[in-house]
């Protein structure tokens, strides 16, 4: 009788441990998915800023070809370049 009464308790503890283990695995998996998604979001934002800066930089250069006396404005050219950090605005040919 004593053995029969202890079996349900052991089974309960085993199930409880399994549930805790599964929940930890689920939490770990979800946290990795959130990290993975956030890295993809950061990459997407960086790509969007890069494309925007290249487009602005190209438009300013085209405008300078059409009107050589056009001065580059700080907001339209240097700000996107400073955000990216990889593109460098060369000041050769820009009149001060």
Alpha-carbon gap, residue 77 to 84, rounded angstroms: 11
CA distances from 37 to 19, 41, 46, 84 (A): 27, 6, 14, 21
CA distance 50 to 80: 8
Prediction pTM value: 0.36
Residue-level pLDDT at 24 = 67
Tens digits of residue pLDDT in 10-65: 544 555 555 556 666 666 676 777 777 777 777 788 888 888 888 888 887 777 77
């Amino acid at each position: 009788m004593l053995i029969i009464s202890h079996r349900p308790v052991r089974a309960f503890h085993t199930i409880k441990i399994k549930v805790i283990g599964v929940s930890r695995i689920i939490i770990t998996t979800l946290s990795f998915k959130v990290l993975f998604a956030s890295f993809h979001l950061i990459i997407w934002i960086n790509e969007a800023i890069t494309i925007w800066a290249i487009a602005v930089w190209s438009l300013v250069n085209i405008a300078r070809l059409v009107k050589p006396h056009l001065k580059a404005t700080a907001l339209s050219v240097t700000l996107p370049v400073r955000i990216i950090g990889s593109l460098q605005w060369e000041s050769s040919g820009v009149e001060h």
